[in-house]
Amino acid sequence: MSKQVQKKAAPRVDVCSLEADMAFFEARLSLAGEADDTVYQRAQIKTYQTLGRLLGETLKTLRLQPRPKQGNGGPATA
């Protein structure tokens, strides 16, 4: 019997979704800075800062990649 090799599709990274995630982390950081200083709060701030940095690096990489051409390049008509 032959084994079928299943290719796992890489998750599609959507720039708009990453930008929305960045905005979420920035909002959380803003709110976290207003709360009492606790160990949990400092861990949360560090986590959001790290996630924001990683998302920023991913966005930078995606923006440097050439976009695939779609259709004929003209505006969509109804």
Query: Does the residue 71 lie in any domain?
Result: no
Q: In the structure encoding, which two tokens stand for residue 31, read together?
A: 């709110």
pLDDT along the chain (78 residues), means of 10: 64 79 86 81 88 88 76 55
Q: Is residue 51 part of a domain?
A: yes
Predicted TM-score of the model (pTM): 0.57
Distance CA 64, CA 48 (A): 24
Q: Does 60 reside within a domain?
A: yes
Dihedral (Cα; 22, 26, 28, 32), 10-degree rounding: 150
Tell me the residue range of the domain where 21 lies: 15-64
Q: How high is the pLDDT of residue 19?
A: 87
Residue 5 pLDDT: 63
Work out how many domains the chain is built from and give that number.
Answer: 1
